[in-house]
Amino acid sequence: MLNRNTVKNSKKIPREPSVLIVGIPGPGLIGTLSVSYLVHALDMEIVGEIENPDTTPVVFIDDGEIFGPIRIYKSGSLYAVLSDIPIDYDMAVSFIQSLIEFAQKNGVDMILLPNGIHAGEKDPNNIKTFGLSTDERLDVVMYDNEIPKFLTGMIAGPDATILTYLKNSQVPALILFTQCNFFFPDPESAMHTIKTISNIVKRDVDLTEFKKQVNYLRLQGRQLMEDTLNIMQQEKETKPPQIYK
C-alpha cells in the first residue's frame, strides 16, 4: 500500500541536548561520589554496562541480580556512566573507546567528566571548579555557568589517556576539576561538583540527603579511595625517569 500521508510546514523541533556524565574513582572520589548521587537524585535507571576485557572479572549481587562494576544509567536525555573500580593503565584505552562509541551511537552532544584537583588548604566555603573543554563550542557552557578555565597544569596516568582520546573524538567533552583533598574521600567538594553539573544540565538536585551523610561517605569511601590511591601510586612509581627525579 502506498503511503499517502504527507507532512506539511514541518518545523524542526528543538531537542534537549543529550549529556553523558562519567563518574570514575579519582582524587577525593569526586567523580564517584557526585555521579553516584546524581544517579540516585535524578532517579536514573540502569540501561546497560560497559564490559572491560582488560580488568579482573568482578561483579556484585544486589537483590539476586548480577551487576558489573561499570554501569550505564539514563533519565530523559541524560546518561551517566558510573564505575565502582578505578580505571588503571590496562583498562584506560578500551574504557574510553567504549565510552566514545556509546556516546556516538546514542547521539550524545556533550560528555561531562567530573574530577578532582589537589588543593592544599582548601577553604570549604570557597571551593572552585575549573573547566577544560575539548571543543571551543563548550566554552559558552563554561561562561554561562561561571566555570573558570583550567589554564595551566599537568595531568598524568590513565586520566591523560582518557583526555587524549576525548580530545581526538567527535564528541565534545568538558572535564570539571574541583579543588579537593586528593588523598581522602571529599564529599564537600563532590557537593560543589554536583551543583555545577546540575546547573549545566539544568536539572534541580536536592542535596539535603547528601549533606546529612558527609561523614558516613568519608568513612564508607575509604576502601575505594585506598584502591584508587594504590593505582595512582603504581603510576607514580612507573612515571618519571630517574634522571628527572
Partner 1 sequence: MTTDFIASFEKRVSSLHEHNTADDFALREIVPLSYLIEKNSKWVLQIDLPGVERKNIVLTITHGHVVVKAKLEEAFKVSNHGQVIKFENMKKAVELPPYADIKKISAKFKNGILTITIPKIDSGKRIPIK
Among 149, 211, 222, 239, binds partner 1 (CB under 8 A): 222
Residue 236 binds to partner 1 (criterion: CB under 8 A): no
Residue 61 binds to partner 1 (criterion: CB under 8 A): yes
Which CB atom, from 107 or from 124, has the smaller least distance to partner 1?
A: 124
Residue whose entry in the numeric block shows the C-alpha cell 575549573 = 130
Residue 184 binds to partner 1 (criterion: CB under 8 A): yes
Residue 145, judged by CB atoms within 10 A of its CB (0-12, 13-18, 19+), counts as middle
Residue 183 binds to partner 1 (criterion: CB under 8 A): yes
Nearest to 40 by CA among 201, 221, 193, 206: 206
Which CB atom, from 21 or from 41, has the smaller least distance to partner 1?
A: 41
Among 40, 137, 167, 239, binds partner 1 (CB under 8 A): 40
Span 163-182, contacts to partner 1 by CB under 8 A: 181
Bridge partners, 113 (sequence order): 175
Least separation in angstroms between CB 198 and partner 1: 15
Least separation in angstroms between CB 193 and partner 1: 16
Helix (H) or strand (E) holding 113: strand 110-118
Cα separation, 51 vs 43, whole angstroms: 23
Residue 91 binds to partner 1 (criterion: CB under 8 A): no
Bridge partners, 71 (sequence order): 49, 82
Least separation in angstroms between CB 208 and partner 1: 10
CA 184 to chain CA mean position, Å: 18
Residue 244, judged by CB atoms within 10 A of its CB (0-12, 13-18, 19+), counts as exposed
Least separation in angstroms between CB 171 and partner 1: 27
Q: Residue 222: helix, strand or coil by DSSP?
A: helix
Segment interacting with partner 1, rule: CB under 8 A, options 59-67, 88-96, 98-106, 172-180: 59-67
Residue 8 binds to partner 1 (criterion: CB under 8 A): no
Sign of CA dihedral 191, 195, 200, 206: positive
Nearest to 115 by CA among 199, 157, 175, 69: 175
Which CB atom, from 37 or from 150, has the smaller least distance to partner 1?
A: 37
Residues that bind partner 1 (CB under 8 A): 36-37, 40-41, 58, 60-62, 67, 69, 84-85, 124, 181, 183-185, 209-210, 212-227, 229
